[in-house]
Amino acid sequence: MTAVAAVNVVHLRKVYRVYEREAGLGAALRALFQRQMQEIVGVDDLTFTIEPGEIIGFLGPNGAGKTTTLKMLAGLLYPSAGEVRVLGYIPWRRERAFLRQIALVMGQRQQLIWDIPVIDSFELNRAIYRIPPAQYRRMLDELADLLELAPLLHKPVRNLSLGERMKCEIAGSLLHRPQVLFLDEPTIGLDIVMQRRIRDFIREYNRRTGATVLLTSHYMADVEALCRRVILIHHGTMLFDGDLTRLVERFSPYKTIVVRLEEPADLRPYGEVLSQSEDQITLRVPKSAVARATARLLTDLPVLDLSVEDPPIETVIEQIFTQEEVV
Amino acid sequence: MRTYLRLLWTFFRVSILGELAYRASFWLQIVESLIDLGTALAFVSVVFSYTRVLNGWSADELLTLIGVYFLIGGAINMIIMPGMNRLIEQVRQGTLDYVLTRPEDAQLLVSIQQIDMWKLLDVLLGMALLVGAMLWHGSLPGPLQLLAFALTLLAGAVIIYSFVLFLATLSFWYVRMENILVIFESMYEAGRWPVDIYPGWLRAILTFVVPVAFAVTVPAEALTARLTWLVLAGTLLLAALALLASRLFWRFAIRYYSGASA
Amino acid sequence: MTHLIAVYRQQLKTAIAEQLQYRAALVIWLIEVALGPAVSISVWSTVARNEGGEVNGYSPSGFAAYFIATMLVNYATQTWVFWEFSRRVREGEFSPLLLRPVHPIHADIAQHLAYKILMLPVIGLVTLILWLAFHAGFTPSTANLATFLPALLLAFALRFTLEWTLALLAFWLTQVNVINQLYVVVVLFLSGQLLPLSFLPAPLQAVTAWLPFQWMVAFPAQLLSTGLSAQAVVTGFLAQLIWLLLGLGLLSLTWRRGLKRYTAVGG
């Protein structure tokens, strides 16, 4: 039997209709009586496939359509056009069998009940998802172990810190061992240590259960640590789908050359000087000119050390989005 | 006093600008107020279809009472309640500290910090009802009566303000009592009727525990010429005492709050 | 079915634990519950005394009995799904419920049951106090009680179904509170909460006959306070059943259309 793709999206499109709002007192008064409608394209013509067990990073600036896409995949939004299949199901039908195999984690305050201990919310999920007692206990132990939940389980949710709440929120949505996991900004607002812990956990969960994970994040560190493959969207359309390393190759026409010299020299003829400290200089050079520039540097100058690097992914992505903005 | 009024006006203006952003609230408040008024009038008309006088109050006199009920209820809900609700929220979230650091009297600031300007509609409706009731009655109250009405109205507002401030200040100690003001809101509903129709125990509660009687019944009595000098003097005295007591209690609470949160 | 029972048991447990956190709030709400009947009894008793001790067949103690019974029925059948729904939709708390493999209505039913269970001792106390304070004259017979309980259950089912359906309007409208307020007023007058239905003007009485509201409050309340003729009891039960079936049909229709709408504009 050939495995069903975890996620299959073809020509997906979503259009919203919203009311316009203008600034100013006059406009506010006018709006009391009549309002303008406006159509907004949230997502346009997305096509991609995700195989079981992959961890995919979903990147894009605010308002790019990431959350809209996640909601369509989870069955909360009805597509305007195109086709979506998750584990072979049509998400918006929200069949019980489908819902039992997925989880969507979106920010805080979702399934944990504010005023009662965490464990009681978990017990509720056990009943709702019909998790057999043995499996529930095993899963709870495992999650408690990986996320260090033991001291939190018997505290009311309102007494937990942001990070602790996020850990519990994630744990709660994994009790039923979903095969597909949608994570919207799982590390937002958390400190570095907690970010890393959640990151490690997601990787470990993926490794142990073979679950497919689709995550959006503002932090490139999340994406770099977890995802080999990324999907880049901007203004609702797909800019890139492929390996993270290829993203840099494809979108950055530059490389950086870091040179250490015996004595200071003017390197401006060799490329654009990005930074210059006492003996170390960073140059930005078009890809096609890298070989020539390196050769010339080595022959012309007393070079102590020289390395050619890709620019940081964060910079590349920032460039892509700002360039798009200009266009 | 002038700075206080200027401050009040500033808050009012800010809230007008803020509110205009919400297209719906405007219409909602109109509908809400009309429904409220309609309910009150419908109930009264049913009652008076079965009797001509309710414990000495004729239909037009009861209309006066309802007018006072809307007038003062609107004023309380416009100026006092929003600020008090916010005060409770501030205590709960620990943001009261910002208010305490302002160079202005904290009690004043929390009392007028938020204004729900749409409730002005209730005040206007209440006034319209008062005028309507007078026309129906066919005679205008004399100047002394009007003076007594104005005095008792002010005294009633002061008493209610002191009471609500007292309730809200309790939240310094009982943080979980988020909806403590509901006590007042639901008891105020009983003010739609003259308190003398209630049995003694309930009348006592509505007079001395939750002082609805002073806010609604007494001013209405002033307008319908049934107020005695004794009650008038008592009301004014009580208003002064209530204001003083709430002020002292507030000071005490602030000292406790600064001590506890430091 | 066993699955649903397990869900309900857990939901009840959670809801009770949750609401126990707000004990003080429960007691405060209670003042509201008790005050309405106290005002109504006072007003109508005054009218009765003015008119020589009785009005429309009700004496002060008869009014007390009727309004206390109304309070009990109201407590048992009341819901707050309207507020709950508009809050959920506004704050985006509805989406997580939709992703659970259980219909969201079950969580709501369980929550209401939990509240009613918690309030039972308090409402008992209030009943006793009002009864003594207003010298209510009623001694329910076993026959009355036997018909009262199923009528109460049906009244709850009917009211819950109707109000849950209306609450779904939150999917279409951002400001449902006005509709809610209107609904509350209509129910106040036409269900028999504010006054016995026989006190309404004749045209309004004719209208109530064709509306579901009296079967949600007045019918069980009258069964408890005065009892009804055998024929009236049968009519009442039939009306409750018919309205319940209609309500359920309307609910499932509205739910389906509402979901379609909700998932079109953004969850």
C66 CB-contact burial (10 Å; exposed 0-12 / middle 13-18 / buried 19+): buried
Q: Which chains touch C (3 or more CB pairs under 8 A)?
A: A, B
Largest Cα–Cα separation, chain B: 62
What tokens appear for B72 in the block? 């003062």
For chain A, domains (ranges, CATH) are 7-15+46-248 (3.40.50.300), 253-309 (3.30.70.980)
Pick the closest to residue C70 from C214, C250, C192 (CA basis): C192
How far apart are the C-alpha atoms of C48 and B54, rounded to whole Å? 10
Q: At what angle do helices A192-209 and A162-174 cross, to 10 degrees?
A: 10
pLDDT, one tens digit per residue, over C196-246 is 999 999 999 999 999 999 999 999 999 999 888 999 999 999 999 999 999
pLDDT at C148: 95
ipTM of this complex: 0.86
B-chain CB neighbours of A25 within 8 Å are: 17, 20
Quote the minimal CA–CA distance from C182 to chain B in Å. 7
The single residue listed with the structure tokens 């006590």 is B183
- Hey, how many other C-beta atoms are within 10 angstroms of the C-beta on C231? 8
Contact between B78 and B123 (Cβ < 8 Å): yes
Contact between C225 and C65 (Cβ < 8 Å): yes
CB contact (8 A) between residue C99 and residue A128? no
Would you say residue A33 has pLDDT above 90?
A: no
For chain B, percent of residues with pLDDT exceeding 90? 47
CB contact (8 A) between residue A111 and residue C93? no
- Hey, how many other C-beta atoms are within 10 angstroms of the C-beta on B196? 16
pLDDT at A245: 83
CB contact (8 A) between residue A29 and residue B26? no
CA C253 to centroid of chain Cα atoms = 22
CB contact (8 A) between residue B23 and residue A31? yes
- Hey, how many other C-beta atoms are within 10 angstroms of the C-beta on B148? 23
The single residue listed with the structure tokens 């002061």 is B158
pLDDT at A327: 42
Overall size of chain A counted in residues: 327
Element (H, E) at A309: strand A303-309
What tokens appear for C137 in the block? 């004259």
Q: At what angle do helices B23-48 and B120-137 cross, to 10 degrees?
A: 30
How far apart are the C-alpha atoms of B162 and B107, rounded to whole Å? 11
Give first-to-last CA distance, chain A, whole Å: 46
Contact between C82 and C180 (Cβ < 8 Å): yes
Total-model pTM = 0.86
A-chain CB neighbours of C3 within 8 Å are: 127, 130
| Domain span at C65 | 2-265
Q: Which chains touch A (3 or more CB pairs under 8 A)?
A: B, C
Q: Which chains touch B (3 or more CB pairs under 8 A)?
A: A, C
Q: Mean pLDDT across the stretch A311-319?
A: 80
Quote the minimal CA–CA distance from C61 to chain A in Å. 43
Q: Of C13, C260, C267, which has the smallest distance from its Cβ to A76's Cβ?
A: C267
Which range, A214-218, A256-260, B242-246, is most confident?
Answer: B242-246
C-chain CB neighbours of A68 within 8 Å are: 266
pLDDT at A103: 94
What tokens appear for A51 in the block? 């195989």
CB contact (8 A) between residue B20 and residue A35? no
| Domain span at B240 | 2-261
- Hey, how many other C-beta atoms are within 10 angstroms of the C-beta on A316? 19
Q: What is the number of domains present in chain B?
A: 1
Quote the minimal CA–CA distance from B132 to chain A in Å. 30
Is residue A31 less than 8 Å (CB to CB) from chain C? Answer: no
Q: Mean pLDDT across the stretch C145-171?
A: 95
pLDDT, one tens digit per residue, over B5-41 is 787 777 777 776 666 656 566 777 888 889 989 999 9
CB contact (8 A) between residue C25 and residue B53? no
Q: Mean pLDDT across the stretch A300-325?
A: 80
Would you say residue A30 has pLDDT above 90?
A: no
Is residue C190 less than 8 Å (CB to CB) from chain B? Answer: no
Is residue A121 less than 8 Å (CB to CB) from chain C? Answer: yes
Q: Which runs of consecutive H residues, i.e. helices, occur in A252-289?
A: none
CB contact (8 A) between residue C266 and residue A68? yes
Interface residue of C4, C14, C88, C99 to substitute, partner A, most A CBs within 10 Å: C99
Q: Which residues contact B226 (CB under 8 A, 6 or more apart)?
A: none
Contact between B86 and B165 (Cβ < 8 Å): no
Quote the minimal CA–CA distance from B136 to chain A in Å. 36
C189 bridge partner residues: none
Q: What is the dihedral of CA C12, C18, C24, C30, to 10 degrees?
A: -30
Average pLDDT, whole number, for chain B?
Answer: 87
For chain C, percent of residues with pLDDT exceeding 90? 65
Q: What is the number of domains present in chain C?
A: 1
Q: In this structure, what are the phi and psi dihedrals at residue B114, rounded to the nearest 5 degrees?
A: -140, 135
Element (H, E) at A46: strand A37-50
Would you say residue A23 has pLDDT above 60?
A: no
Q: At what angle do helices C23-50 and C60-77 cross, to 10 degrees?
A: 150
Quote the minimal CA–CA distance from C118 to chain A in Å. 16
Q: Of B176, B178, B197, which has the smallest distance from its Cβ to C46's Cβ?
A: B197
